[in-house]
């Protein structure tokens, strides 16, 4: 069964990705100077302390989540994360309005034979994640019932994505909700770079961002659909 994966980024980065035709990993020699909506200390720790089973640093990979509704996106929405430009200047707090998602599916990734890993929790969790690179095990490696308790958020019917359960938070009871926030941030990682021709669609929050992304798209060699999907946002 194919699964959809979501790469969160700031909308202005789309122009760069379309120009280059690739989204490079942070450690790549050609890594792009991008707008950033992340915690620098976490990015630094990921680049220093976390490795795949073959001893690659996880910043050698382009990371995705298995849904757009995550605790990281929620903390951006709440105004807790700085927006930093390619010049490393802080432009205030990031908001969900400027966030877009590159959406891919695992079948197309597999067809290209790209080196990859996926995990059962966020790579930078206090708990050690379990890594797997055999896509035939994806159906059991990720705790899908936590994603599929309902399909109340984030439906993208155009690509067959049914959506995800709205609640990603952890609770003591019932027991299966313990560490739910970390399990809902299980990662799918592609080595070195994501080719833009493997992107099924780009999801945006409003028509203004859609028009800007489509302007960049028309100036590129790509024709990736751009969808306004408020259900992918808070």
Known catalytic residues are 46, 187
Residues 6 or more apart whose CB falls under 8 angstroms from that of 17 comprise 9, 23, 32, 102, 196
Residue 3 assigned to a binding site: no
Q: What are 166's two structure tokens? A: 């709205």
Residue 116 assigned to a binding site: no
User: Is residue 185 within 8 Å of residue 76, measured between CB atoms?
Assistant: no
User: Is residue 123 within 8 Å of residue 48, measured between CB atoms?
Assistant: no
User: Is residue 231 within 8 Å of residue 155, measured between CB atoms?
Assistant: yes
Residue 18 assigned to a binding site: no
Question: What's the Cα-to-Cα distance from 49 to each of 31, 33, 65, 167, 224, rounded to whole Å?
Answer: 20, 23, 20, 30, 35
Residue 19 assigned to a binding site: no
Closest CA to 126 of 170, 79, 166: 170
Distance between terminal CA atoms of the chain? 28
Cα pseudo-dihedral 16, 225, 160, 62, rounded to 10? -10
Give binding residues for NAD(+) as ranges.
Answer: 7-9, 46
């Amino acid at each position: 069964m194919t699964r959809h994966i979501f790469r969160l980024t700031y909308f202005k980065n789309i122009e760069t990705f379309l120009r280059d035709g690739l989204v490079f990993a942070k450690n790549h020699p050609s890594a792009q100077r991008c707008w950033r909506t992340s915690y620098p200390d976490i990015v630094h720790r990921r680049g220093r302390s976390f490795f795949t089973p073959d001893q690659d640093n996880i910043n050698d990979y382009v990371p995705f989540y298995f849904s757009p509704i995550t605790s990281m996106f929620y903390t951006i929405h709440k105004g807790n994360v700085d927006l930093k430009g390619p010049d490393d200047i802080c432009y205030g707090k990031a908001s969900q309005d400027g966030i877009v998602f590159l959406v891919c599916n695992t079948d197309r990734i597999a067809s290209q034979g790209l080196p990859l890993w996926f995990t059962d929790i966020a790579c930078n969790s206090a708990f050690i994640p379990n890594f797997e690179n055999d896509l035939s095990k994806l159906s059991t490696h990720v705790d899908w019932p936590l994603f599929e308790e309902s399909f109340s958020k984030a439906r993208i019917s155009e690509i067959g994505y049914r959506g995800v359960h709205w609640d990603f938070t952890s609770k003591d009871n019932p027991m299966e909700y313990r560490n739910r926030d970390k399990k809902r941030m299980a990662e799918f990682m592609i080595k070195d770079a994501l080719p833009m021709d493997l992107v099924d669609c780009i999801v945006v929050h409003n028509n203004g961002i859609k028009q800007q992304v489509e302007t960049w798209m028309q100036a590129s060699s790509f024709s990736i659909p751009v969808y306004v999907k408020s259900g992918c946002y808070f």
